[in-house]
Chains A and B, each alone.
Chain A
Amino acid sequence: MLILEIEKCYDEFVLNTGWEADKGEIVGIFGPSGSGKSLTLRAIAGLETPDRGLIKINGRLVFHDQKNINMPAKDRSVAYVPQNYGLFPHMKVVENILFGMNGNSPVTRKKIAMELLQRVGLENKWNKYPRQLSGGEKQRVALSRALANNPEVLLLDEPFSAVDMTVRKILRNEIRGFLAQWQIPIVLVTHDPDDLDALATRVIEYGNTKKPVCLSR
């Protein structure tokens, strides 16, 4: 369960949002660019600090301004897949996945990584570099890497922006089955209504009504 209630103020723009996401849910955040969609994801991941509010993951407070809680990103157990996937270009596919894995012996880790790759049909690409992969393959590697540590929340920022329209349709179908296997809250940011139709179980709409009411200032 992910609960958030946050505010972040800039000179020209105020993000003020609050919602919840249950496990197994795919919450789609929909809105025009500049409405604070990505910012919300970054705040949940711990990459951006809200000015006010709270973020709770499975009962754990990871952010609370009044209690002075701001857990660093590395301790939040939140998986984040940025817009262009953020794959490590100098590491092979399997190394990308192994990089984020903790615990277990190196042999076990490698085994788990290969199993993950098998699940997304990329087991024979394990020793390729990201630049040798197609857009869809990159996305699957990024998802496998994000999920390798059994995170408690998965955040996807515009997962299909890097691929063209035709590939997008195929990928939506692929990713739907894959995401359904993970019983965690999944938050998907998009500006494309088709993404929501295909994937989201619930939609939260962000408007661009820039109301410069900033409660924390």
Chain B
Amino acid sequence: MNWIPVYLSLKIAFFATLISAMIGIPLGWLLARGRFIGINLVSSFVMLPMVLPPTVLGYYLLVLVGRQGFIGRWLEDTFQVNLVFTWQGAVLAAAVVSLPLMVRAVQASIESVDPNTEDVARTLGKTEPVIFFRITLPLAWQGILAGIVLAFARAMGEFGATLMVAGNIPGKTQTLSIAIYDAVQGGNYEQANFLVVLISVITIFSLWILNSYVKINRW
């Protein structure tokens, strides 16, 4: 049995979720509490990866971060980094694909926090960062955690965009989903079965953890 795709997928999903959380939590907060012109535009743009076919998304990313793309050229010139056909490229693809799930979950959970609590904190002399970290975040935490788990699961299963950006290089960018496709194409059903069962177990396990955690309400 070849375990490398499993390890690769976990690694890529981990970093993708991290990036997705770092961008998605502030963005979700902004969409929930922000009052600015163009908020609907930002919201629609963030949701794009959820509705676009993954291959289309992957193609966009390829165009952007490829050697000819302006981000790709900038990365190459400044950091001598090339994302195409690397595991870091797969992280980028998975992060972009999982971002909408993260943002939606964060936005919904922050919207569910009573704005009166935040207003009272303001009149009690608290600054916005203090209010965010001591009131909003702790109260929205369960929804945010759900977003993180969903984003992780989505990143684990990413196929289309990853394939476009990172390709299918065994041991380097061949993630679980891609390895399953590859195994089935090559008639290697033993490997395919192994990976399918494994990814199912991982997914069910993370959803189970999520469900049992969310039920615990300490206040």
Residues of A participating in the B interface, judged by any CB pair closer than 8 Å: 42, 45-47, 72-76, 78-91, 99-100, 102, 129-131, 145-146, 149
- Residues of A contacting B117 with CB < 8 Å? 86-89
Closest to B114 in A: A86
**Interface residues contributed by chain B, number (CB under 8 Å):** 18
Task: Check B116–A82 contact: CB distance below 8 A.
Answer: yes
- Residues of A contacting B123 with CB < 8 Å? 45-47, 73-74, 76, 78-80, 146
Residues of B participating in the A interface, judged by any CB pair closer than 8 Å: 114, 116-117, 119-127, 134-135, 138-139, 218-219
Task: Check A45–B119 contact: CB distance below 8 A.
Answer: yes
- Residues of B contacting A85 with CB < 8 Å? 116
Task: Check B122–A82 contact: CB distance below 8 A.
Answer: no
Contact of B122 among A73, A81, A84, A145 (CB under 8 A): A73
- Residues of A contacting B134 with CB < 8 Å? 99
- Residues of B contacting A87 with CB < 8 Å? 117
Query: Chain B at the A interface: mostly helix, strand, loop or mixed?
Result: helix
- Residues of B contacting A90 with CB < 8 Å? 138-139, 218-219
Closest 9 CB pairs of A and B: A100-B124, A86-B116, A73-B122, A86-B120, A82-B116, A80-B123, A129-B219, A74-B125, A86-B117
Sample (21) of A-B pairs whose CB atoms are under 8 Å apart: A42-B119, A72-B122, A73-B123, A74-B125, A74-B127, A75-B125, A80-B123, A81-B120, A85-B116, A86-B116, A86-B117, A86-B120, A88-B121, A89-B139, A91-B219, A99-B124, A99-B126, A100-B121, A100-B124, A102-B125, A130-B219
Task: Check A47–B122 contact: CB distance below 8 A.
Answer: yes
Query: Chain A at the B interface: mostly helix, strand, loop or mixed?
Result: loop
Task: Check A84–B124 contact: CB distance below 8 A.
Answer: no
Task: Check B124–A88 contact: CB distance below 8 A.
Answer: no
Complex Cα–Cα for A45 and B122 (A): 9
Task: Check A84–B116 contact: CB distance below 8 A.
Answer: yes
- Residues of B contacting A86 with CB < 8 Å? 114, 116-117, 119-120
Complex Cα–Cα for A80 and B117 (A): 11
- Residues of B contacting A78 with CB < 8 Å? 123
Task: Check A74–B126 contact: CB distance below 8 A.
Answer: yes
Task: From B124, B138, B218, B219, name the one whose CB has the most chain A CB atoms within 10 angstroms.
Answer: B124
Complex Cα–Cα for A72 and B122 (A): 8
Q: A88-B135, A90-B138, A149-B125 are in contact. Are A80 and B120 (CB under 8 A)?
A: yes
Return A139 CB to nearest CB of chain B, in Å. 13
Task: Check B219–A131 contact: CB distance below 8 A.
Answer: yes
Complex Cα–Cα for A86 and B139 (A): 13
Complex Cα–Cα for A73 and B119 (A): 9
Complex Cα–Cα for A76 and B123 (A): 7
Task: Check A99–B121 contact: CB distance below 8 A.
Answer: yes
- Residues of B contacting A74 with CB < 8 Å? 122-127
Closest to A85 in B: B116
Closest to A129 in B: B219
- Residues of B contacting A91 with CB < 8 Å? 219
- Residues of B contacting A146 with CB < 8 Å? 120, 123
Task: From B121, B123, B138, B219, name the one whose CB has the most chain A CB atoms within 10 angstroms.
Answer: B123
- Residues of A contacting B135 with CB < 8 Å? 88
Task: Check A80–B119 contact: CB distance below 8 A.
Answer: yes
- Residues of A contacting B122 with CB < 8 Å? 45-47, 72-74
Return A81 CB to nearest CB of chain B, in Å. 8
- Residues of B contacting A83 with CB < 8 Å? 116
Closest to B134 in A: A99
Task: Check B124–A47 contact: CB distance below 8 A.
Answer: no
